[in-house]
Structures are given as C-alpha cells and as structure tokens.
Structure 1
C-alpha cells in the first residue's frame, strides 16, 4: 500500500478505536486560525505566580522555599473525599459517587524551567516523586492518574513547570478500556499486549523515536495526534512501584531527550498533554499490564498551527494527515540537545 497516496484506517488495540489516516491531504494549503506562540522569556521567579517558592496561593496558603519538587493538595480539587448519596432507578440516568484526591506537583522551584530545560538529576527527582506519590496513593485508591498539561494551548493556566496527580476509587474511562483490552489480549495470547507491541516496534524501527535498555518511545501505529508518542516500559513494569533505580534514571534521561526533541521541532516550548497509565492498584493479577505514558501534542505544521479535533473527529472518528512513520522520522531527526543550549541547531528538516 502506498501510504502517501491512499487513505486507510488503523485500529488502536488498547481502546478498540479506529483512526482514519489521509496522507494525501498533508500538503493542502492552510488558511485557518493560528495560535499565539507561548512566551519563553520568563523570569526565574515570578512574584505573582502561585506556584513559585515563598509565594501565596489563592486560598491564602504560602508555599515553602522548596529547592526540588513540591507537592500539595490542589486548592481547587476536582475530586472530593466525602461520599455523595447516590440512588439510581433508571438505566438512562446513572450516577455514582466519585471519591478521591487531587494534588499539584511543582517539578522545579525555577519558574522558567520546563522539563527539557531541567538537568537529568532534577528530572530524576521528578521521577522519584512520581514513584513516591503513586506508592502512597495507590494504597488507598484503585486509579492514580499522573499527568501534565503544558502550554496555554492545552489549557494550562500557569507557566510554572508543574503537573497534577488525581487519585480515585473508580477506574477512569481510558484506563478501564485499556485494562479490558490488555486482559483480553493476555487471555488469547498468553503474553502482555504492550510487551509484544514494543518488541515488534523495536524490530521494525520505522516508528521508533528513542530507545534504551529500559524504555521505548514510539509514535504509535494508531496515533491520532500529529506528533503523538507513547513511552513504554521495556522491563514490563506494571506500575511505578516496580521500577528499579536503573529504570528511574533511564526514564529521567528519556524524558529529557524526548521533550528536547519536541521543543527543537518548531523551536518553541512545545505544548502537550501527557499522562501515565499504570495497572489498576490493589490487584493480584498484573501480568497483562505494562506501564506507559501517552504524549498528546496538538501542533501540526508550526509553533502556531494546531490540529483541531472537530467535525468528523468529534462525530465520526479521529483523523490525521501525517503518517505515524513520517512523524517518527521527523522526531528522530530532531537533535536531543535543546535548541536554547546550542545556537547552531536549525529547525528540524532544514
């Protein structure tokens, strides 16, 4: 099949959803809206930022003068720890209580240091904090979602480098779908879906962006966002509690390399939503699960052109113009040294 002239569909086995790929549309002229490019010229400390060390937050709490990562309960949490009274009497109107906790995690005390601009030691501290938070919260909650929204284009209201941790008793919809699909695959094949997938992607290499002894970064075969990637544990770890010191060190390096490539792609602070999917906690059977992170960046052609999921994507199924193979090649070709650290780096593809 000529992947540059024909449209085709690919199925995501983790969610049982399809993606329409239309590479013949990739060179069409663009006359749509453009986004403002995020300002990278930020101070190291912003007196008005509620996430900077020593500053006061909206609820009156004052941040400590932290020197590494800092985690606190979200002042405007989306989850409550009190259980609501629920009674369902109709299959069309179903409600259940959602009990949990929401936390904010500052990656760094420095206001203008996003993940790719941090040292590997500082990133290792981030990874170890993820591990510690997951270990604590997974004792009480079935589902622990660790994620980051980066950039105004992704709805992030604060430029200070930070992520969030939401933990709750219920399985989130995406985790539930992935849990079911991986369990079904394991029952049929006797092996973990993402372990088999990672092995085949590493062998094929067309969609691989980065790889080391512990982690694989790939543009998924079924990717729906233009430069979407998935970061998969090659140690077949089901969750953060199973990571070794070697794998946490390797993860810190991998995140720096990947996010630097993202920034180098369009020479901007590259926006994305990313998050970790761990095996549901408090389970005795974890053989079907391999932990992984999804990176969903919205940029399509430049720092100011966004991929919009509208129309057919909202009413039919996801659609993309750039093939995953070409997206992976473009990301592979991007340098791993951040463009702000090396003025000789040109835009990828030039």
Structure 2
C-alpha cells in the first residue's frame, strides 16, 4: 500500500491509500475555500455525566447533492471536489464540517456552576472507500476491504497520538433512513477528547467481570459462549465470528469479532486483516438479501481507549439496521430515546436464522 499526503486549499490534510506503488498523487487543490471553522463547544451535562458537542457550523454542511455535484467523487476539469485526483482507491481527509477539530478557540469556563465548558478538541475525518459514486461497500473486492482496513489502522494509530484524544471511533452510515447526507460510499472517523457513554458502560461491565473472575476478558468470554451455543452465529472463519447478540437492541444486529482478543484495528495481524474482508462482505450481502433491497445500516468499530483500560477492551464491529421488516423501520421512540431502554421487535434467534438463510 502506498501512502501519500497532500494539503487541500484551506489547509486540511488529505491522504491517499493506493494499491499501486506507481500511483502519482501530485494534483493540487485548485479551489478557493474559506478557512475551516473553529472547533465546536463541549458542554457538560451534570445530570447524566456526559459531554454534548455544539457544532452550529454543521447546519450548512452539504446535504444530499445530485451525483454530478458529489464532493467525494474525483475532481474533473469541469468540477472540483474534495479529492483533487482524477481517480483514487481509498482517500481520507479532515471533514470540512467537523464536530471536533484542533482549531480551538478560547471558551468560557462554564455556562452555570454545574455546566463546565471546554473546546471540542479532536478530529473528524472522512474515509472514501472507492471513487465509484454508484457503488457500495458490499460491492468492493476483498483486496479493497483490506486497503480500507489498513487505512483505518493507520488513522487509528495517528489520531490516537494527538494531544487530548481518548478514543478513536471508525464507522459507516448507509442509507437515508440512517441520516446519510452523501450517497457516495464513505465512512467517518471521530477522535474523541473524552470516553463516550457507550464505551464507559462497556468498560464498567468489563471491569466488574475482571474483578470477579481474576482478570478474565468479558467480551472474550461472551464470544466463546456464543460460538459454543451456535444458535445465533451467522457466519465464521478461522479468525472471525459473526453472531447476533443474545440481547440485541436492534431488529437486525450482528457483532463481528476476532477470536483473538486485541484492543484495536492496528493490533490485528496480516492474517486477521485478510480474513476480515470476505466474511464482512458476506455479512453485508446477507443484510441486503433479507428484504431484497439495500439495507440501511450503521457499521461501528468498538476499539479500546487509547490511554486507559486497554486490557479491558476487545475489538469488535457492530453492524445493525433500523429496518425491522420490508416496509417498516425501527424508531427510537419514548422508551429508547427518553429512558435508554430498547424494545426489540425481532428475536435475536429469529434474526440469526433469517440472516443465515439470506
């Protein structure tokens, strides 16, 4: 894999990850762009012990442009985009409308004595999986999935070294039902300056389990139990298993986890990275085959924090959809949105059966 860094017209970084060593990436960004916005403001919610980001500049971000105006397609003589090259394999660049960034401004110390304020220091990046606007991740060959995984490993390692970053989160949103604002196949990376609520909850449970069992890894034990039970396993190979969690929150939710406990993507071996692609592509095609239509989904990598409790983590990919039937979506209504208590309409065992048959 060849890695090439360039600077866009407004000073943001773009990195090409090429599968050919002879790829030349010297095309300049010929646009005239305003300076990137400053970092968002983080406000602490004392009632939930959580941080909320206020990124008001994101109101003006690009929203569902037509294909001939897509900012993630390669640049042409007639139209300049975020990618100056006329073609590319995988490209990663700092988001033009970031929720978190290193361009911090001075903030007041607090809103009230109970609500501290801090700059939204961190980083948000866009990961373009292909230059083909009309493709999707499930259409990629395993070799391209490997390139994407290597790019995510690179960015996880680099972003984890930034001052103040506590966790690196890689994910893909697909489908307008999820809230996608650009149709071009792409994912995102958030480098958080705090541990998100989901991570804190996972770590707390893992810590309690380790204390009870003399240091055993909770996720590794759960994965072993699911592999032994087999009822909710959708697919597997030598290095990875895909299974529906016994307490799945979403109608169709699958965890894809390596058999060897590792904290993050950079820790995966070459063999594990090679084995991931075929199984993940099989899983995505099963999702699309469920109802004979492209499945909206969120694909989220759960990685260990970069500074604390790394021994408690176990890398895994959470893939889930809001679609519960061919013509029905799962909405986060009162119980889920207000109280955080999920009510699933599809039994995990039924979901696993349908996915195996898809």
Which residue does 1:321 correspond to in 2?
Answer: 345
Correspondence 1:196-345 to 2 at 5 A: 196-283=221-308, 286-302=310-326, 304-316=327-339, 317-334=341-358
Q: Distance in 2 between matches of 1:226 and 1:266?
A: 13
Please identify which structure carries the higher strand content.
2
- Aligned counterpart in structure 1 of residue 107 of structure 2, from 73, 77, 85: 85
Report SS of the residue matched to 2:311: coil
Q: Distance in 1 between matches of 2:76 and 2:172?
A: 22
Q: Distance in 2 between matches of 1:62 and 1:331?
A: 37
Compute the displacement of 1:266 (Å).
1.1
**Equivalent residue number for residue 152 of structure 2:** 130
| Aligned equivalents of 2:68, 2:155: Cα separation in 1 | 28
- 8 Å CA contact 1:139–1:282 kept in 2: the answer is no
Change (3 A) 1:319 1:204: same
| 1:61-140 superposed matches below 5 A | 61-83=82-104, 84-88=106-110, 92-140=114-162
TM-score (norm 2): 0.75
Q: CA offsets per residue over residues 43-80 of structure 1, 9 Å max, x none?
A: xx943211111159x99755322321111111111113
Q: In the superposition, relative to structure 1, how do residues 170 and 311 fare at CA in structure 2: closer, same or farther (>3 Å)?
A: closer
Secondary structure in 1 matching 2:115: coil
Match of 2:198 in 1: 174
**Residue in structure 2 matched with residue 346 of structure 1 by the alignment:** none
Moved more, 264-273 or 89-98: 89-98
Report how far residue 95 of structure 1 moved.
3.1
* Structure 1 residues 320 and 136: alpha-carbon distance in aligned structure 2, compared to 1, 3 A threshold: same
In structure 1, C-alpha distance between the alignment counterparts of 2:225 and 2:332, rounded to whole Å = 29
Describe the shift of the 1:269–1:168 C-alpha distance in structure 2 as closer, same or farther (beyond 3 A). Answer: same
Corresponding position of 2:38:
none
TM-score (norm 1): 0.77
Deviation at 1:159, TM superposition (A): 1.2
Q: Do residues 149 (structure 1) and 194 (structure 2) align?
A: no
**Cα gap change, 1:174 to 1:70, in 2 (>3 Å):** same
Give the number of equivalent residue pairs. Answer: 288
Aligned mates of 2:76, 2:218 — CA distance in 1: 46
Segments of 5+ residues of structure 2 without an aligned counterpart are 1-65
Deviation track 1:262-310 (CA, whole Å, cap 9, x = no partner) reads 0111111111112111110134x532210111112011110x3211121
Match of 2:72 in 1: 51
Q: Structure 1 pair 103/55, CA: closer, same or farther in 2 (3 Å)?
A: farther
Q: Which residues of structure 1 form unaligned runs of 5+?
A: 1-44, 335-350
Change (3 A) 1:94 1:257: same
Aligned partners of 1:112, 1:90: CA distance in 2, in Å? 49
Deviation, structure 1 residue 169 = 2.1
2: CA distance between counterparts of 1:48 and 1:176? Answer: 40
Displacement, 1:85?
2.7
- Post-superposition Cα deviations, 1:146-174, rounded to whole Å, max 9, x if no partner, equal 01110111110111100001112211221
Whether contact under 8 Å (2:75, 2:82) holds in the other structure is: no
Q: Is the 8 A contact 1:219 1:327 kept in 2?
A: yes
Evaluate the alpha carbon distance shift between residue 59 and residue 98 of structure 1 in structure 2; reply closer, same or farther with a 3 A threshold: farther
